[in-house]
Amino acid sequence: MALAAASPAAILLAPAPVPAAGAAIPALTPVKLEIRKQLVSKVTKPGEFFPLRLAEPILINGTEGIGEVVESKGGGMAGSPGVLILAARYLDVDGRRLRLRSMHIVQTGTNNQDGATAVGVLLGFPGLFITGGKSTVAEGTIAEAKTAEPFALTPSPVTSAPTTSVTRPLIAAAPSPAISTRGNSQ
């Protein structure tokens, strides 16, 4: 017996599985995050927040969250590269925060120190004016992080399909006093 392939529309519309009662995401669970805004070391300031999103499901799917710029430094004198240190702070799961830690993303600017050293040896002082490149994290970059603590999932309320009820008009009216069409004799 051949099985029919599911249509892409049917797959996209399939409901997400409801976690079992008592299900939890353990501490230190690896997560993949998508950076949702371009970050540039020359422009971005420490303490600035940026949006991120869960890139691969871990009992939850497509959850939005927040990251923070910890350190940002444009390319420096003598060819030193720009630095951009980022931290994932949390994902928002049904109005609760799933705290994150240990975000790992490798981004450094262009290191021009070798060129600056060569110019410094040949020309002296002007080698200090060669700057390194800025560090840029493009929108859509995938980073890795971990959950900071165990996170209990509460099952989403199951919504049933809407039911339709048919109301029928009342056929029998309330009893009323009998009216006679015959003449009344008194």
pLDDT digits (tens, 9 = 90+) for 25-63: 999 999 999 999 999 988 999 999 999 999 999 888 889
Q: pLDDT-derived band of residue 19, with 50, 70 and 90 as boundaries?
A: low
More confident residue, 184 or 147: 147
C-beta separation of 68 from 45 below 8 A: no
Q: Which domain holds residue 62?
A: 27-147
User: Residue 134: is it exposed, middle or buried by C-beta count within 10 angstroms (0-12/13-18/19+)?
Assistant: buried
107 in any annotated domain: yes
User: 154 versus 142: which is more confidently predicted?
Assistant: 142
Asked if the structure places residue 61 within a domain, the reply is yes
The conformation of residue 154, written as its DSSP 8-state character, comes to P
Q: How many CB atoms lie within 10 A of CB 175?
A: 6
Query: Which amino acid, residue 116?
Result: A
Say if 22 falls within a structural domain: no
What is the predicted pLDDT for the residue at 28?
96
Long-range contacts for 92-97 (Cβ within 8 Å, ≥24 apart)? 92/63, 92/64, 92/65, 93/60, 93/63, 93/151, 93/153, 94/154, 94/156, 96/151
139 assigned to some structural domain: yes
Q: Is the dihedral of CA 130, 132, 133, 134 positive or negative?
A: negative
**39 pairs with which residues across the strands?**
137
Domain assignment present for 185 = no
Per-residue model confidence (pLDDT) at position 60? 87
Residue 115 is part of a domain; what is its CATH number? 2.40.128
Rounded Cα–Cα distance for residues 142 and 134 (Å): 19
Q: What is the pLDDT of residues 65-110, one digit of tens each?
A: 999 999 988 766 555 677 889 999 999 998 999 999 999 885 544 4
Q: pLDDT digit string (tens) for 1-11?
A: 444 444 444 43
Candidate from 57-71, 127-141, 145-159 with smallest mean pLDDT? 127-141
pLDDT of residue 117: 46
If you average pLDDT over residues 158-182, what whole number do you get? 49
The pLDDT, as a whole number, for residue 113 is 45
**41 domain-assigned:** yes
Break the chain down into helix, strand, coil percent, rounded to 5.
Answer: 15, 30, 55
**36 falls within a domain:** yes
Number of domains in the chain: 1
pTM, entire model:
0.61
